[in-house]
Amino acid sequence: MSNFTIDDNPFSLERIRSTLIRLEDTIIFALIERAQFASNRCIYIPGALEFNGATGDKSFLEFFLWETEKVHARVRRYTSPDEYPFTSPLPDPILPPCKFKKFVQDDDININDQIMEIYTKSIVTGICEEFDDDNYGSSATKDIECLQALSRRIHYGKFVAESKFREQPEEYTRLAVNNDREAINELLTNHKVEKVLLERLRRKALVYGQTLDQAEEGANMHLRIPVNVVVELYERWVIPLTKVVEVEYLILRGQRAAAEKAVADKLAQKPNVK
Ligand SMILES: C=C(O[C@@H]1C=C(C(=O)O)C=C[C@H]1O)C(=O)O
């Protein structure tokens, strides 16, 4: 008998949470990469930069992101249930569809517009110095990595929500039928998990942000990214937006479950016609 049990359910809440923990590292390092460059605000302003007429009415970042997502769409990135594009229209995949183990239900929940707005208006300000260093391509490249990591983490809330629905289907269905978003948000919230996450994030940002250019441990004076910026990013934006996705998914999931039950009950009442 092994000393530890391996959770063989790839979609247990514990396994889903471990994916969110791994995404913390992806996000922190993506932010550290972006912080190398100035804010270069012009890349976020529609029409501020024109490359041979290519950007048109889009900002440089929107143009770059759209071109990037077109290629990613062609290699079927957005057929994955945990990947959501920021731009449209996008071409069909040139590869045959992957077979994904079905867990979350099909839906059209995509809050990347909110993520883009918050990232360009609030997050860049916190991690970059406010000036123009002409590194527009490099800045946008790093922005895209940050946006994709944040989008994946926040939309992974669907997996969390499905796992929680399966633990309390009746309760979530009852609240969904009443469109009670506040009660659903309260039921899904786990304050202990959030507290532990923010404490872990502070430690990660402190360690990952060090340049280690001082031999003496902990002597680093300069951090590559302010610790409080990372913690506030999660506390103010990432966790609340993840919960927005969870709530919207649970409303949909619960209302579908209620509709399916109504049909099943009706069929059960139907007398057998000889
Ligand atoms: C993701 C979960 O749902 C909620 C959102 C959390 C987050 O975004 O980090 C953490 C705990 C919950 O309040 C979870 O329960 O793990």
Please report, for residues 69, 74, 75, 76, 150, the alpha-carbon distance to residue 96 in angstroms, rounded to integers and kept in the order given. 18, 10, 9, 8, 27
pLDDT of residue 218: 61
Q: Is the minimum distance from the CB of 235 to ligand 1 under 6 angstroms? A: no
How many other β-carbons are positioned within 10 Å of the β-carbon of residue 88?
9
* CA 259 to the chain's CA centroid: 29
Considering only CA atoms, which of 112, 122, 110 is closest in space to residue 44?
Answer: 122
Whole-Å CA distances, 265 to 166, 250, 259, 268, 269: 20, 22, 10, 5, 6
Pocket flag, ligand 1, residue 18 (CB < 6 Å)? no
Q: Specify the residue with its C-alpha closest to ligand 1, atom 9.
A: 239
Q: Please give the pLDDT value at position 4.
A: 46
- What integer pLDDT is reported at residue 224 of this predicted model? 79
Q: Give φ, ψ of 219 to 5 degrees.
A: -90, -5
What is the pLDDT, as a whole number, of residue 2? 46
Q: Identify the pLDDT of residue 185.
A: 98
Of 239, 241, 250, the one to substitute when testing ligand 1's pocket (max ligand atoms within 8 A of C-beta) is 239
The helix (H) or strand (E) run that includes residue 254 is helix 239-269
Catalytic residue selected from 34, 142, 152, 153: 153
Determine the Cα–Cα distance for residues 86 and 224; give it in Å rounded to an integer. 28
Determine the pLDDT at residue 50: 79
Q: Is 17 marked active-site?
A: yes
pLDDT of residue 270: 75
- The list of the chain residues with pLDDT below 50 reads 1-6
Residues forming beta bridges with residue 223, ordered by sequence position: 210
Q: In the CATH hierarchy, which fold is given to the domain comprising 16-211+220-262?
A: Chorismate Mutase, subunit A (1.10.590)
Q: Which atom of ligand 1 is nearest to the CA of 191?
A: 13
Q: Is 242 a catalytic residue?
A: yes
76 catalytic residue (yes or no)? no
- For residue 188, report the distance from its CA to the centre of ligand 1, in Å: 8
Note the pLDDT of residue 220: 59
Neighbours of 153 (CB within 10 A): 23
Alpha carbon of 43 to ligand 1 centroid (Å):
33
Active-site entry in 142, 152, 164, 243: 164
| Single-letter code of the amino acid located at 79 | T
Of 145, 194, 232, 235, catalytic: 194
